[in-house]
Amino acid sequence: MGTLGQLPIWASKPCIMGIDEAGRGPVLGPMVYGCLYCARSYQKTLSTLQFADSKTLKEEKREELFEELKTNKSIGWAVDVIDPRDLSAKMLKKTKINLNEISHNSAIGLVRKTLELGVLLTEVYVDTVGDPEKYRVKLSEIFPAIKFVVAKKADSLYPVVSGASIVAKVTRDRALRDWVLDETAENMQRNFGSGYPGDPETKAWLDNHKHAVFGFPTLVRFSWGTCNAYSKDNVEVVWESDANDEDEPNGRASKRQVKLTNIGFTGVKRKSEDIESNGKGRCKFFQARKLELLSQF
């Protein structure tokens, strides 16, 4: 949460909130939901703070406004940063959760956490995801004491949503800028562009950072259709039980082993001590990460 410590006096009076997101479309990085709230009596003052749809503002201006609202004691804010791995995992799990539902759940979570802080929310303005009226009804059923206004382009209509848009956008930009790549393989680069599928720099980065077995780095939302074009040369993986592996005819097993040797694995059985001492015969992925083979647990 952006507001910590003792709850300000104004939070116990009727308050309004705006909710918006940043990073819904990119194939790289997190999606961020942000909210901004203040006393309803502060609404007129809020409209004078030059908040606008974050997409219409230059990065320097967004950063400036974000720093200003952080120090404004009449404003509260919060964010929900959704990791790209979480996005893909939810969208590809057996019982799939689509992006709209993920977005709805994030917005609902922000409202719930703010209420739990003790803020007296009476009105919430939301930039819609999907049908505005259905979304409004859904929110109203969960929080019947709050009046919800759900609209397209709400970030350009309501200053409180414009403020939330800035919170979300700056948070995502900083997260992407400061992203620490988990992978330590050679030739890992950070020049991935904007992260949007149509960005030539992003396309080039994806093409140069795919792995035939392990796919993409964790920065990538691998459930996005954009990634399919880069998966044509991926190695086919067949999952079988240990029992089936033991009963596997030698010919079939060796055929698969040859297939793996083409991408860096070895079929030669060697002592683990020898393998760990010189690193030869192992996939570069494991060598780069200094992963050791354990024979005893």
Is residue 86 marked as binding?
Answer: no
From CA 251, how far away is CA 236, in angstroms rounded? 18
From CA 168, how far away is CA 54, in angstroms rounded? 9
Q: How many CA atoms lie within 13 A of 66 on its CB side?
A: 25
Length of the chain: 297
From CA 103, how far away is CA 282, in angstroms rounded? 41
Beta strands in the chain, from DSSP E residues, in sequence order: 15-22, 31-39, 75-82, 121-127, 147-151
List Cα–Cα distances, 7 to 35, 80, 100, 163, in angstroms: 17, 20, 32, 20
From CA 158, how far away is CA 168, in angstroms rounded? 15
Is residue 199 marked as binding?
Answer: no
Q: Cα(first)–Cα(last) distance of the chain, in Å?
A: 41
Is residue 116 marked as binding?
Answer: no
From CA 119, how far away is CA 108, in angstroms rounded? 15
| Strand pairing report for 15-22 and 121-127 | parallel
From CA 72, how far away is CA 67, in angstroms rounded? 9
The SS3 call for residue 150 is strand
Residues annotated within the binding site are: 20-21, 127
Residues annotated within the binding site for a divalent metal cation are: 20-21, 127
